[in-house]
Amino acid sequence: MVSNTHLHQNSSEMFSDPTLYRSVVGTLQYLLVTRPELSHSVNKVAQFMHSPQLHQWQSVKRILRYLADTIDHGLLLHQQSPSFVKAFSDADWSADPNDRKSTTGFCIYFDNNLISWSTHKQKNVSQSSTKAEYRVVAVVMIEILWLKSLLHELHIQTPPPQIFFLTILALSS
């Protein structure tokens, strides 16, 4: 799915088989464990499971065609020393035209291996892009602290984590 694709409610006719839509999108959610590049697309189509429309079903079919063409893709794990934790995060401030909520996303690497990722809408409407970014940083830090605790229990020592914030500043002239 193109990242600037906007799926709207009530912009086309209803999909004739909502049970099929829910079944396929539910199955795609399980696939995200090994195919994180689908997170954004599956998240977008999952927002309309209560009343799917025809254009949303067309987006689901596009995801399925992508999967058919990339059947041999997946996550690869590589061993590296010394071990480190690195995180990337971003928030898309008020991007959803239906409810104006921000979308939060992050990914966490252990060495060069992607081990945790998430994308979801924030529960509250942020009043600024800064507040949306602070919320995603809080979520990432909770995840990193849990991961560091787990690694400590497994007797794996790591240096302090590195966090990268993806922020685009709009400057007016």
pLDDT digits (tens, 9 = 90+) for 95-118: 666 767 777 888 888 887 888 888
Please tell me the pTM assigned to this model.
Answer: 0.53
- Least confident range from 25-34, 86-95, 145-154: namely 86-95
| 95 vs 66: CA distance, rounded Å | 25
Torsion sign over Cα 126, 131, 133, 134: negative
The reported pLDDT for the residue numbered 112 is: 79
Closest by CA position to 95, among listed 120, 113, 115? 120
Which two three-digit tokens encode residue 161?
A: 């984590």
Sort strands 162-165 and 103-110 into parallel, antiparallel or unpaired: unpaired
The reported pLDDT for the residue numbered 163 is: 64
